[in-house]
């Protein structure tokens, strides 16, 4: 649509008052305006000029609604409106009603259309911008931005949102990266990762509170700044991290259980050596088994764990996991 064709229907009393100025503004903005003062010459057929040359080829028809065009019951305005309404149905031409007077009765045929009101006829730049945007079919809706990276980072854990789940994953990744048997990290390591997935420190702080309320982490706060937090991944938090985010965890779990039940390997360091897995991962899983009541552990100050008892119900549950 290089130069959209626009017909302006109006009462003659509004020509100098408003319509000619509107026509000049539109044509100055690239609109091919059909305005009777410019188009109808002496001796021309009004019917041919208005309906055949003016209304019929139009892309848009502006109806200027005023006390002159409506309350005075102008014949030509009514005929143009009827013709425009018919063409709109037949050829999908858009009608733009512009109201320039208050307290007028809007014609029934226009009641369902969105209209624009202009109260100051000498200054209506905002309204003009909307009219021109409509004529050129400019989409004024802002473009949809890119999704935050955390929304594609992971699938959220039940009860948590994407940010909470992403924070839990980062904490678990850092625990395994540093092979922390105590499962404690400094929050500065977490903060370094946040910008990569579009999470603010305020959002992270809120998510840590949520994770703490769910029992996934314990937070040691040294002042109000999140950079000074120490974060401990709890037994249930660590197992949830493994279950949701650790690739091949189900198979790893079965291998560990097989070593415990079938090979009678009972020390965390020996299981880590046999599997080639981090000691922190083995220790976290053994902690979970004890938490669930499957086994009883003894733990040295150096973090060496030894299974000294497997409960009967625990053995049954471990076999069930291994055979599932």
Taking only the tens place, the pLDDT of each residue in 90-124 is 456 788 999 999 888 887 777 788 899 999 998 99
Average pLDDT over residues 136-159: 69
- What's the pLDDT at 112? 81
SS3 content of the chain, % helix, strand, coil (to 5): 50, 15, 35
- Final residue in a domain of this structure, among 187, 216, 242: 242
On whether both 204 and 259 belong to a single domain, the answer is no
- What is the pLDDT averaged over residues 257-276? 95
Q: What is the CATH number of the domain that holds 116?
A: 3.40.50.10140
Q: What is the pLDDT of residues 33-51, one digit of tens each?
A: 988 888 877 776 666 677 6
CA end-to-end distance (rounded Å), the chain = 65
User: Of 242, 261, 296, which closes a domain?
Assistant: 242
Mean pLDDT value across residues 169-179? 92
How confident is the model at residue 172, as a pLDDT? 93
pLDDT at 148: 58
Are both 318 and 256 inside the same structural domain?
Answer: yes
- Exposed/middle/buried for 208, CB within 10 Å: 0-12, 13-18, 19+? buried
Question: Who wins on pLDDT, 226 or 89?
Answer: 226
Give residue 299's pLDDT.
92
d(CA 224, CA 222): 7
| Number of domains into which the chain is organized | 3
Indicate whether 140 belongs to any domain.
no
Rounded to an integer, the average pLDDT of 196-216 is: 91
- How far is residue 172's CA from residue 249's CA, in Å, rounded to a whole number? 13
Measured CA to CA, the distance from residue 57 to residue 240 in angstroms comes to 67
Question: How many CB atoms sit inside 10 A of residue 298's CB?
Answer: 11
Q: Supply the range of the domain harboring residue 253.
A: 247-323
Q: Is the pLDDT of residue 259 over 50?
A: yes
> How high is the pLDDT of residue 44?
66
Q: Distance (Å, rounded) from C-alpha 157 to C-alpha 134?
A: 45
């Amino acid at each position: 649509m290089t130069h959209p064709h626009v017909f302006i229907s109006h009462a003659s009393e509004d020509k100098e008052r408003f319509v000619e100025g509107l026509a000049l503004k539109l044509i100055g903005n690239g609109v091919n305006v059909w305005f009777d003062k410019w188009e109808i010459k002496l001796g021309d057929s009004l019917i041919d000029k208005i309906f055949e040359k003016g209304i019929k080829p139009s892309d848009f028809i502006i109806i200027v609604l005023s006390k002159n065009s409506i309350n005075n019951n102008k014949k030509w305005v009514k005929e143009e409106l009827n013709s425009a309404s018919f063409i709109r149905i037949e050829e999908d031409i858009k009608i733009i009603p512009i109201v320039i007077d208050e307290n007028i009765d809007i014609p029934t045929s226009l009641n369902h259309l969105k209209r624009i009101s202009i109260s100051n006829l000498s200054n209506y730049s905002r309204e003009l911008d909307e009219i021109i945007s409509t004529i050129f079919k400019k989409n004024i809706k802002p473009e949809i931005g890119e999704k935050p990276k955390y929304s594609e980072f992971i699938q959220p854990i039940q009860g948590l949102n994407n940010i909470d789940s992403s924070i839990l994953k980062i904490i678990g990744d850092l625990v395994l990266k540093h092979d922390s048997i105590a499962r404690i990290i400094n929050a500065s390591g977490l903060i370094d990762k946040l910008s990569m997935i579009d999470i603010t420190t305020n959002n992270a702080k809120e998510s840590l509170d949520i994770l703490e309320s769910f029992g996934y982490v314990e937070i040691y706060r040294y002042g109000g700044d999140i950079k000074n937090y120490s974060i401990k991944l709890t037994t249930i938090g660590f197992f949830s991290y493994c279950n949701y985010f650790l690739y091949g965890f189900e198979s790893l779990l079965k291998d560990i259980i097989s070593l415990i039940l079938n090979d009678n390997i009972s020390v965390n360091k020996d299981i880590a050596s046999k599997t080639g897995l981090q000691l922190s991962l083995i220790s976290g899983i053994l902690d979970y088994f004890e938490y669930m009541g499957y086994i009883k552990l003894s733990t040295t100050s150096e973090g060496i764990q030894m299974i000294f008892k497997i409960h009967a119900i625990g053995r049954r549950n471990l076999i069930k996991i291994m055979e599932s």
